Structure 1
Amino acid sequence: MAIRRAKQKAQVIEKLSQVAPPGETFIACVHTETGPSPWLNALFDEIPLVGLVVAFTRKFYFLTLTNTSVVVNTASRWTNRPGEVVAVFPRSAFPVSKIKRARVWSSIYLQFPGEKFPRRLNIHRYWRNEFDQLLTAVPNAPIPGQASGSGTYAQQ
């Protein structure tokens, strides 16, 4: 199981290199998880079985920024190994909204193809540098550090 960020990124790049077009450059890779705020886990764990149900409903993804696109692929719940590619978006059309950069758990809402509503993706501070690099692909996103007092970058 890959625990270190560098090893996880290397595994994602290795996996994506097999299907990437020639000349594709990998810039940043961010690990995310779906669901409500991870801060609520402490509350959910106090209610019998609810914490377990919430934990098993979470999905894990890697968002990888390349020179031409943003690639979304699954991540294994148990090993963090990268899985199948579920979406590829051109950098200029990365469908995110409600970008919130917080001290520990940041979040964005990503509109997956074929889904009616955007899905909340939580990003831990551990991935902050890569998250900031990923935000360069978001049209009209402010530069990190210029957020308003609410911690929100952009509402699209």
Structure 2
Amino acid sequence: MAIRRAKQKQQVIEKLSQVAPPGETFMACVHVETGPSPWLNAIFDEIPLVGMIVAFTRRFYFLTLTNTSIVVNSASRWTNRPGEVVAAFPRQAFPVSRINRATVWSSMYVEMTPGAKPTRLNIHRYWRDELDQLLSALPQAQIPAQGGAPTGQPQF
């Protein structure tokens, strides 16, 4: 099981290198999880079985920024190893909205399949540098300042 961020990124790049076109450059890799805010786990754990149900409904992914696209691949719940590619988007057309860059748990919504309801992705502070790299590569992203106050245009 990979625990260190560098090892996890290495595993993702090895996995994606098998299916990436020649000349693809990997720039950033971010580990994310779906579901409601992780802060709610303290409340959910107090209600019998609800905490376990919420934990098992969470999905884990890696978002990888390349020189041409953003690739989403699954991550194992138990070992955190990268799995199959779930989606790939051109960098200019990454369907992200409602980016909230918070102190510990940041979040954003991504439309994984066209026309579907956007999926909430939670990103821990441990992955902040990689998240910033990913967001800086997106032309439409509006990244809130460190204190939580938005900069530029309002978020949508």
Above 0.5 in TM-score?
yes
Residue of structure 2 equivalent to 1:50: 50
Distance 1:97 1:114 in 2: 14
Q: Secondary structure at the match of 2:127?
A: helix
1:129 and 1:65 map into 2 onto residues whose CA distance is 13
Match of 1:126 in 2: 126
User: 1:109 maps to what in 2?
Assistant: 109
Whole-angstrom distance in 1 between the partners of 2:20 and 2:78: 26
Q: CA deviation at 1:113?
A: 1.4
Q: Report what 2:72 is aligned to.
A: 72
Percent of counterpart pairs with the same letter?
A: 74
In the alignment, which residue of structure 1 is the partner of 2:26?
26
Work out whether residues 35 and 120 of structure 2, in 8 Å CA contact, stay in contact via their aligned partners in 1. yes
The one-letter amino acid paired with 1:83 is: G
SS of residue in 1 equivalent to 2:8 = helix
| Alignment coverage as a number of residue pairs | 156
Structure 2: unaligned runs, 5 residues or longer: none
8 Å Cα contact 1:94/1:137 also seen in 2: no
Q: Which runs of 5+ in 1 are unaligned?
A: none
**SS of the residue 2:29 aligns to:** strand
Please identify, of 105-114 and 27-36, the stretch whose mean Cα deviation from structure 2 is larger. Answer: 105-114
Please give the TM-score of this superposition, normalised by the length of structure 2: 0.93
AA in 2 matched with 1:6: A
Preserved contact between residue 99 and residue 154 of structure 1 (Cα < 8 Å): no
Q: Deviations over 1:108-127 (max 9, x none)?
A: 00001145200000000000
What residue number does 1:138 align with? Answer: 138
CA contact 1:98–1:155 (8 Å) conserved in 2: yes
Q: What residue number does 1:62 align with?
A: 62
**Structure 2 CA distance for aligned equivalents of residues 40 and 153 of structure 1:** 29
List per-residue Cα deviations over 1:29-51 (Å, max 9, x = no partner): 00000000000000000000100
2:102–2:146 contact (8 Å) kept in structure 1? no
Residues 136, 107 of structure 1: alpha-carbon distance in 2 compared, 3 angstrom cutoff: same
* Counterpart position of 1:6: 6
CA RMSD between the two structures: 2.1
